[in-house]
Amino acid sequence: MSNLILASQSPRRKDLLQQLQLSFTTISSNVDETVEPHLKPHEVVMELALRKAKEISALHPDSYVLGSDTVVAQGDAILGKPQSEEEAREMLVMLSGKTHSVYTGVAILFGDEQTLFYEKTDVTFWELTSREIDEYIASEEPFDKAGAYGIQGLGAKLVKEIKGDYFSVVGLPISKVYRALREMGHLQ
């Protein structure tokens, strides 16, 4: 059986992939994440997942390589990782009381074979008070998370409901990844 490489240093993706009890290594990709501004959120995550996987696959052509990317979108506006408290506050106010979408793209490469897909999950936030937003920002959790929140951490208290794959919101739709690896022949 060929090696599996996760083309990411994301601790959340690593933890999720470990839940599948698969043997894998992680190698961080360093691709340019600039994308064309006209791309829709699902196109962005698939493009970036594929770039990440291709970079590592070129160095390890005999391995299965898994690349992934996640974005939070309010309509077609993609919310990245906030660079300041003010930017985090703006994002959380924008998401308060509304439903937004989280897209996670996945690319799995093995030689000339590739599987590419994305998962979309709708997340609805409670109506947030200024105090709730300030307390959450003070936790510093928003600063390394797209959309300024992490559903698997303190950000869980902001979420009223989700429709779709919870694990995709965390960073990797593990059930679909498992099935894709099986279909590609990595799992027996």
Please give the sequence-ordered ranges of beta strands (E in DSSP) within 10-158, or none if there are none: 25-26, 64-74, 77-79, 99-110, 113-125
Strand partners, 121: 102
Chain center to CA of 17: 13
Chain center to CA of 15: 13
Output the CA angle 180-181-185, nearest 5 degrees: 115
> What does the alpha-carbon distance between residue 136 and residue 85 come to, in Å, rounded to a whole number?
10
165 carries an active-site annotation? no
Please identify which of the residues 15, 62, 69, 112 carries the catalytic annotation. Answer: 69
As annotated, the active-site residues are: 69
